[in-house]
Amino acid sequence: MNKYLIAVVGATAIGKTTLSIQLAKHLNTEIISCDSRQFYKEMEIGTAVPNKEELNAVKHHFIQNRSIFDDYSVGDFEKDAIKKLEELFKKHNVVVLVGGSGLYANAVIDGLDYFPEVSPDIRKQLNHQLQQNGITALQEQLKKLDIESYQTIEIANPQRLIRALEICIGTGKTYASFKNKNKHPRNFKTIKIGLTAPREIMYQRINQRVDIMMQQGLLEEAKKLHPHKDLNALQTVGYKELFSYFENEFTLDFAIEEIKKNTRRFAKRQVTWNKKDTDIHWFNFDENTAEIIKKITELLHFE
């Protein structure tokens, strides 16, 4: 347990990449990315992949290492990331983890919950119900079967809702009963660092980032990906809105405004997710980086 994983968390566009690179340079270590969309090499601009200068400054892992045509789950990432950490901890006492995907970060830090396999027919039936009756009927069904999950999961997210319901129906037990059980112990300590900003500044930074993405060629990138729009990797803010533009459902200006709006909503969910975690050491996004690094290094205690 004499090894540390420093996890840098926070909403999209808040400055995690810059801080993580400065931190990794100071500690002479490497970075593991847990951004679940930056894994895909075809999605460079729309996922705000670190630029070449940033990637050259510090060795990064799990950036553009997969294809959108690959099936790659959070469980796959957990296995790959832990294997990579074992390798990195042979030469470094500290490794930096960074990314906005809270589920993927938690998979590395705490391990995933174990859920038994259930018949895929249940999911098909639930998806059919969703299309026929809408999301409210499924929410009411979960409320009857598993009130704890109804109160704690993101029930506005159809995927999360259906996942909870299929476990309830397939096992006869609540989804909540399988949570936080049988997790694998880690042989490293974790220090969580969070960046925060007033909401108006966070939203301003998001709007600015979307404008920069458009200048960098996001429209052309999305156009190349449009034929594959049904792939899971492309169910992502920044692409879905432009696909609607290509299909004449949106004007281009409206699509861009939708990207900004949906990214702001995503950032709000990230803030809500992180607020639940009392282990995070918070810093203002504009705090002096050298001061942040000084405070973080004071948290490291090697025997």
Domains of the chain: 4-112+183-297 (3.40.50.300), 120-178 (1.10.20.140)
- When the pLDDT of each residue in the chain is averaged and rounded to a whole number, the result is 93
What average pLDDT does the segment 153-173 reach? 89
Q: Which of 297, 284, 268, 274 is nearest to 109 (CA)?
A: 274
Annotated binding site for ATP: 10-17
Q: Cβ(194)–Cβ(280) under 8 Å?
A: yes
Residue 78 identity (one-letter amino acid): E
**Distance from C-alpha of 40 to C-alpha of 66, rounded to nearest angstrom:** 5
What average pLDDT does the segment 13-24 reach? 96
Does 15 have pLDDT greater than 90?
yes
Tell me which of 276 and 42 has the higher pLDDT.
42
pTM of this structure: 0.83
Q: Which two tokens stand for residue 165?
A: 């319901």
pLDDT of residue 183: 65
What average pLDDT does the segment 287-297 reach? 94
Q: Cβ(7)–Cβ(192) under 8 Å?
A: yes
Residue 159 identity (one-letter amino acid): Q
**Residues sharing a CB contact under 8 Å with residue 132, sequence separation 6 or more, in sequence order:** none
Does 2 have pLDDT greater than 90?
no
Q: Which two tokens stand for residue 252?
A: 């281009």
Count the neighbouring beta carbons within 10 Å of the beta carbon of residue 194: 21
* pLDDT tens-place string over residues 61-95: 999 999 999 988 888 999 999 999 999 999 999 99
Q: Which two tokens stand for residue 39?
A: 């894994």
* pLDDT tens-place string over residues 183-214: 678 999 999 999 999 999 999 999 999 999 99
**Distance from C-alpha of 41 to C-alpha of 63, rounded to nearest angstrom:** 8
* pLDDT tens-place string over residues 95-153: 999 998 888 999 999 998 888 889 989 999 999 999 899 999 999 999 999 999 998 88
CA 109 distance to own-chain centroid: 13
pLDDT of residue 303: 63
pLDDT of residue 160: 83
**Distance from C-alpha of 245 to C-alpha of 252, rounded to nearest angstrom:** 6
pLDDT of residue 1: 66
pLDDT of residue 113: 80
Secondary structure string (H, E, C) spanning 221-289: HHHHHHHHCCCHHHCCCCCHHHHHHHCCCCCHHHHHHHHHHHHHHHHHHHHHHHHCCCCEEEEECCCCH
Annotated binding site for substrate: 12-17
Q: Which of 171, 186, 215, 195 is nearest to 15 (CA)?
A: 195
Annotated binding site: 10-17
CA angle 33, 39, 44 (to 5 degrees): 105
pLDDT of residue 157: 79
Q: Cβ(178)–Cβ(148) under 8 Å?
A: no
Strand partners, 189: 4
Backbone Cα Rg of the chain: 20
pLDDT of residue 224: 98
Does 180 have pLDDT greater than 80?
no
